[in-house]
Amino acid sequence: MARIENPVLRGFNPDPSILRVGEEYFLATSTFEYQPAVRIHRSADLATWEIAGHALHDLDLRGIPDSGGVWAPSLTHVDGEFWLAYSVVRTMDGDDKDIDNYLVTGPSPLGPWSEPVHLGSRGFDFSFFHDDDGTHWIVGVQWDQRPEHPSFSGIVVEQYLPEDRRTSGVAHRIYAEEGLVEGPNLYRIGGEYLLLLAAGGTGWNHGISAARSRSLLGPYARDTAEAVLTTRDAPGATLQKAGHGELVETPEGEWVLTHLATRPALHLGERYGTLGRETCLQSVVFEDGWPRLAHGGHHPAQSFAVSGDKHAEAEDVPPASGWTDDFDRSELDTLRWSTLRVPAPQSGIDLEARPGWLRLHGGHSTASVFEQSTVLTRVEEHDTEFETIVDGDPRSPREAAGLIAWYDRSGWIWLQLTWDPDHGRHLRVVRRDDRTTIRSAAVPVPAGELGLRAHLDGAALTFSYAIDGGWRAIDGTFPAWTLSDDHGPRLRFTGMFLGLRAEDLDGRGWSADFARAEVRTRP
């Protein structure tokens, strides 16, 4: 019997869409402004997952705002073919959202994919429902930009016509309520249509609710239970913000719910979701036609067992304790690393100029929504060390490279190697908090290779450096809690990354080299 330990996908892996085809499960998650887009995971037993790859590799996301980009993919399978629907959020200013929804199809969740079909720009969180009569429908949130109207103006369905590669153009509003509902998914179970909804926003009030109808177009009756799943009434629970879910049926006839949640860090008694929204699973049963958590109540379980002969053969596997990249490949390992807005080949990366080293050609500033030279990996545990070696010779304050803890353009903490006339070649910690930039004292360092290390300990971040193998601490403890969805007034939907960065603000072709990136974690 395999035991599922939550989160099954740790670190920034939100908006899970799950699918079983035969004996295999596939799970897609949102990637927002990060490349490659739409992360795909694969499992044979629901307990152990591997990163299979990504669905979309060449999207142009330049100009996309922070926490914009690719939202809420929907992965389905019909007539032997995989369908992937996704939204690209291009603008999210005030009441306005510019959103394009697309569909691609292919023989595998990793492609090759068809040319995208534009599904319109009505709203977001669009998923596909394939009815028993052979018709295909998209179901999603309808957005209303008028300030005197609710922005979330209801859940709509619209028929998709695959032969014509277009939607019908007629949307039917099937559900609305006074509270915020989004992330809809439709199922036909026991002769009724079940509408699973994300409710209460994606923060601490998040949850999953349900409605059902005997007709696809409604009317839909709301579940009498407040929530199928939520932790809004359990601020001390380990898994917070639980919501945005999808159902999948196992070969043994069991139902499993995938959903997002976060494990917050505490700072002065306040919760901060520094790791981002992660993916969890729950066992579900149906009572009087309504989905209910198998263990009772509506709070997520941290672990549970999946039964069945196939699952009985699986062994429990402890969480990974880390990994190392020696940069000995000709291409960046995009199963581990992500880039911002542009694919890795366009991100200033060179793995061939100096074998065993990653050369980063300096790019735009941290404020850029175009082409930054930054290579990042998700932070998966509150106790994480990230270590690398940098070799660079900056000759200007406008040239810098080093190790960065990144949330978005308004939230980052960077141990950078740079130069200025007063200190020469030196290290310093520079951080951005909203529109404020704060710099630590300079630490002069000699020419040559330097070891750099970051240690995340809950809500705090510390740095150290090494010369000839001897490690020395950088003075100060830095506020990792600011690198979270929950810091500041802006809408933020991603999570903390650690990685490597080079900056050449004069655009003169300066570069820096990095050797051996190593991640060590303790759950």
* CATH code of the region 322-522: 2.60.120.200
* DSSP tag of 121: S
Whole-number Å distance between alpha carbons of 100 and 122: 8
Question: What pLDDT score does 318 carry?
Answer: 52
Nearest alpha-carbon partner for 235 in 188, 273, 208: 273
* CATH code of the region 14-312: 2.115.10.20
* DSSP tag of 317: -
Distant-in-sequence contacts of 119-124, Cβ < 8 A, 24+ apart: 119/85, 119/160, 119/167, 120/158, 120/167, 122/156, 122/158, 122/171, 123/99, 123/156, 124/71, 124/72, 124/87, 124/89, 124/97, 124/99, 124/182
The domain limits of the chain are 14-312, 322-522
Largest Cα–Cα separation, the chain: 76
Burial of residue 509 (CB within 10 Å: 0-12, 13-18, 19+) is exposed
Nearest alpha-carbon partner for 99 in 141, 157, 150: 141
CA dist 299 → 226, 236, 243, 292 (Å): 12, 11, 10, 11
CA dist 173 → 66, 81, 156 (Å): 30, 28, 4
Question: What pLDDT score does 319 carry?
Answer: 54
Question: What pLDDT score does 126 carry?
Answer: 93
SS3 content of the chain, % helix, strand, coil (to 5): 0, 55, 45
Instruction: Find the catalytic residue in 15, 125, 325, 486.
Output: 15
How confident is the prediction along the chain (523 residues), in pLDDT tens digits per residue? 579 999 999 999 999 999 999 999 999 999 999 999 999 999 999 999 999 999 999 899 999 999 999 999 999 999 999 999 999 999 998 888 999 999 999 999 999 999 999 999 999 999 999 999 999 999 999 999 999 888 888 999 999 999 999 999 999 999 999 888 999 999 999 999 999 999 999 999 999 999 999 999 999 999 999 999 999 999 999 999 999 999 999 999 999 999 999 999 999 999 999 999 999 999 999 999 999 999 999 999 999 998 654 443 444 445 558 999 999 999 999 999 999 999 999 999 999 999 999 999 999 999 999 999 999 999 999 999 999 999 999 999 999 999 999 999 999 999 999 999 999 999 999 999 999 999 999 999 999 999 999 999 999 999 999 999 899 999 999 999 999 999 998 889 999 999 999 999 999 999 999 999 999 999 8
Question: What pLDDT score does 523 carry?
Answer: 86
Question: What pLDDT score does 94 carry?
Answer: 85
Nearest alpha-carbon partner for 185 in 126, 111, 143, 132: 126
Q: What residues contact 177, with CB distance under 8 A and at least 6 apart? A: 222
H or E, element range at 204: none
> Has this prediction a pTM greater than 0.85?
yes
Known catalytic membership, residue 182: yes
Instruction: Find the catalytic residue in 33, 66, 182, 485.
Output: 182
